[in-house]
Structure 1
Amino acid sequence: MYLKERIKQLAKENAPGYIKIRRHLHQNPELSFQEHRTCAFVKEELQKIGIIEIISVAGTGLLATIRGKGGGKNILLRADMDALPIFEKNNIGFVSKNKGVMHACGHDAHMASLLLCAKILYSLKNEFIGTLQLLFQPGEESMPGGATLVQKEKGYQDLGILPHLGQHVRPDLPVGKVGFCVGKFMASMDELFLKVTGKGGHAATPENTVDPVLIASHIIVAAQQLVSRMSSPKIPSVLSFGKVIANGAINIIPDNVSIEGTFRTLDETWRQQALKKLEKLVTSVAEGMGGKCELTINHGYPCLLNDKGLTYVSKENAISYLGEENVIDSDIWMASEDFAYYSQNNPSCFYLLGVGNEIEGIDSGLHTPTFNIDETAIETGGGLMAWLAIQYLNNQ
């Protein structure tokens, strides 16, 4: 009981300073794999805490170590660092100074929370047995994903297999609450690029053309069979096309149409089957109409798997820290995260941190120009992660 109350006290005392850090990070966002100033700032903050074991990973990331008493277990805590190419539209006193770049996915809050967590854990290093790894990871928003680069680093590989904890802000979850999901949690993600080729011409003489716009329309509709008729209803799958370009005119049928989209699922075996079926489907539809379709697939992140044992224990520890009323069972989330790469090889728990506050008007979605957080979530996020880590290490 003493340790839990001490963590809560440290979280409350130090939260205002780390809210200021979050605002600094929010004002100075950097895109994926360009987080040079962010990396330097985070390293300086870690050193202020007293942490000296810090190595560079993945170019613009950091891996820091806090050692407790004696040997014991090892656990890794992760936060991502990069921002998104979005023009911020918030009316706040700390909007992005880097026009066209914004922390619209909460990575500023992730970093601030982990830094607060580091402050707490370093203060209590004589209260736990084992070792804590703090990973500040770049490039989560851009493929191939910073996680893939971290995993190639010798410093990371030397850690061996160990539990990974991570958290992600959710604006539709009220501040003060967290959510856990056991097993398959977040979807795989593959980027789809289709080039439909026909024969252009005058819109008044369609008989002399092979209309790629019409072919593209049939492809978009027919491709939905992949989800509605080819996949098992027991496997969540999403196929969405968000970009279609046909550079013709009101009286010009173009030669080509480009289509861009994404396929997501929660089953790796079906994922591979589905992409093969999709290629065959779009090719045959185009050929049947006299044209051609080329499909290029950028293979993205795999499914994110939350380890049953680690997630169950983490949820129970969260209940003891926040109260049962503030810990929910989360549903699957069809978004994707490169934390999934860690979860494929290590027992992992990726959970949700509530940051929404409808009364204060803080309810904009992730990846939007008006996304923001209720900053009291920094205290919750930093304190809870410290508690989860210490509980894991001390329960040998």
Structure 2
Amino acid sequence: MEEKDLKKLVEKHRDAVVALRRHFHTYPEIGGKEFKTQEKIMAELAALGLEPRKAAGTGVIAELQGALPGKTVAIRADIDALPIQDDCRQPYQSQHENVCHACGHDGHTAMLLGLAKVFTDLKGELAGNIRFLFQPSEERFPGGALGLIEAGALDGVDAIIGAHLWQPLKVGTIGVTYGRMMASPDEFSITVQGRGGHGSMPQQTVDPILVGAQIVLALNTIVSRNVDPMENAVVSLGVFKAGDIFNVIPDTAVLHGTVRTFEQEVRLKIFERIEQIVKNICEAAGASYKLDKFFGYPPVFNNPAVSKVIAAAGCEVLGPDGVVEIKPVMGGEDFSYYLQKVPGAFVYVGAGNAEKGIIYPHHHPKFDIDESALAYGVEIMARAALKLLA
């Protein structure tokens, strides 16, 4: 197909994709409850002559078979929103209280429907098949990827690609890696059991706040002193709760944090050090503890060959300067489960634009995207899929 012809097809469906994105932004649904979203996706796909089926509860799988035999390439979009109050202050602001597409999944869903429209137009000259995967619950562990895989999402698939609209990258660019892309998002919770008492008589207590504070400081030495400085790793604490009254030393303190790694050996070493640190500090203070560990998604490792295909597609659409090799990101993504099964790659599509005030990060109430990123995403993913089929 001529380059200009594909660009024309994307342009033909541009307004529809933007309208779909705004629809999903207006009516968001959190993971596991995307019933209306699923209904809308099913209707859009059926209108194209496809035969979508429900999967993984609120997900959707559909396949477009080309006129000629060939490989099968899957393209995935996540469809769930977040439990956040929307404050984007646009006509398409969320109508559902405390539910918001503050991560761009509305755009991912719209782009994949746009791809379905483009490939339906190309069906007569397409050699191979495109499988469209609309995945629920990416934001809620254990995610929806495993459910889709169990429903046959990857059966017979030769390669899979996925895209994430990314506010830190300016619109008109894409971010690629040729290996490490996103980390394992693990969690831990520590409950320090001390002995409470009056603040004026601390000698009669085992102060869990003091113990917890020492744990916080010690945990922040793990990455700097126990992990190879050339290795990617993060240990961060986001919760420290203890006490309710200014002059009473409480019985307990609760700490909750996250561990982000790429390598299993590093992952296990960090959790081993957390256990050692908590155990020794609590024993020295006369406190006891309970440590709970929660292992999240595997890390996202892109297949280098598939990443190169997406990068080549990006160069065709955006020019060489529009394709940026980025550093790995320590956020997590259950796209990793697909990559454990078939070759594939995940890419960031730039969606930030400071001139338009689109500067707020993902998961922020004012998060929004530059909607011109949608057409770029559709065309790049379409070109990448065609290259993979070939």
Normalised by the length of structure 2, the TM-score is 0.97
Query: 2:310·2:384 contact (CA, 8 Å) conserved in 1?
Result: yes
Instruction: Pick one of 127, 130, 133 that aligns with 1:132.
Output: 130
Deviates more, 1:318-327 or 1:368-377: 318-327
Matches within 5 A, 1:334-349: 334-349=330-345
Partner of 1:228: 224
**In 2, Cα distance between equivalents of 1:161 and 1:233:** 38
Partner of 1:7: 6
Identity across matched positions, percent: 36
| Letter paired with 1:365 | P
* Residue 294 (structure 2) pairs with residue 305 (structure 1): no
**In 2, Cα distance between equivalents of 1:358 and 1:184:** 28
Matches within 5 A, 1:179-198: 179-198=175-194
| Letter paired with 1:175 | V
**In 1, Cα distance between equivalents of 2:200 and 2:26:** 54
SS in structure 2 of the partner of residue 9 of structure 1: helix
In the TM superposition, residue 386 of structure 1 has moved relative to its aligned partner by 1.1
* Residue 165 (structure 2) pairs with residue 169 (structure 1): yes
**In 2, Cα distance between equivalents of 1:310 and 1:77:** 13
* Residue 213 (structure 2) pairs with residue 213 (structure 1): no
SS in structure 2 of the partner of residue 179 of structure 1: strand
**In 1, Cα distance between equivalents of 2:370 and 2:313:** 23
SS in structure 1 of the partner of residue 223 of structure 2: helix
Query: 1:115·1:382 contact (CA, 8 Å) conserved in 2?
Result: no
In the TM superposition, residue 95 of structure 1 has moved relative to its aligned partner by 0.6
Query: 2:310·2:381 contact (CA, 8 Å) conserved in 1?
Result: no
**In 1, Cα distance between equivalents of 2:75 and 2:153:** 13
* Residue 352 (structure 2) pairs with residue 379 (structure 1): no
* Residue 164 (structure 2) pairs with residue 156 (structure 1): no
SS in structure 1 of the partner of residue 91 of structure 2: coil
Instruction: Pick one of 280, 285, 302 that aligns with 1:284.
Output: 280
In the TM superposition, residue 164 of structure 1 has moved relative to its aligned partner by 1.1
Partner of 2:103: 105
Instruction: Pick one of 61, 66, 69 that aligns with 2:67.
Output: 69
In the TM superposition, residue 235 of structure 1 has moved relative to its aligned partner by 1.2
Query: 1:116·1:383 contact (CA, 8 Å) conserved in 2?
Result: no
Normalised by the length of structure 1, the TM-score is 0.96
Deviations 1:3-53, CA, capped at 9 Å, x for gaps: 32111111112111111111110011111111011000011111112212x
Q: How many residues align?
A: 390
Partner of 2:256: 260
Query: 2:73·2:157 contact (CA, 8 Å) conserved in 1?
Result: no
* Unaligned 5+ runs, structure 1: none
Partner of 1:116: 114
The alignment yields a C-alpha RMSD, in angstroms, of 1.2
Query: 2:72·2:157 contact (CA, 8 Å) conserved in 1?
Result: no
Partner of 1:84: 82
Partner of 1:201: 197
**In 1, Cα distance between equivalents of 2:212 and 2:149:** 39
Query: 2:313·2:381 contact (CA, 8 Å) conserved in 1?
Result: no
Change (3 A) 1:224 1:160: farther
SS in structure 1 of the partner of residue 133 of structure 2: strand
Partner of 1:362: 358
| Letter paired with 2:191 | K
| Letter paired with 2:175 | G
Query: 2:87·2:365 contact (CA, 8 Å) conserved in 1?
Result: yes
Instruction: Pick one of 174, 178, 202 that aligns with 1:178.
Output: 174
Query: 1:200·1:210 contact (CA, 8 Å) conserved in 2?
Result: yes
| Letter paired with 1:69 | A
**In 2, Cα distance between equivalents of 1:316 and 1:386:** 12
| Letter paired with 1:110 | H
In the TM superposition, residue 319 of structure 1 has moved relative to its aligned partner by 0.8
* Unaligned 5+ runs, structure 2: none
Deviations 1:273-301, CA, capped at 9 Å, x for gaps: 32122122212211111101211111111
> Which runs of 4 or more aligned residues in structure 1 lie more than 3 Å from their structure 2 counterparts after TM superposition?
none
Partner of 1:294: 290
In the TM superposition, residue 239 of structure 1 has moved relative to its aligned partner by 0.6
Partner of 1:25: 24
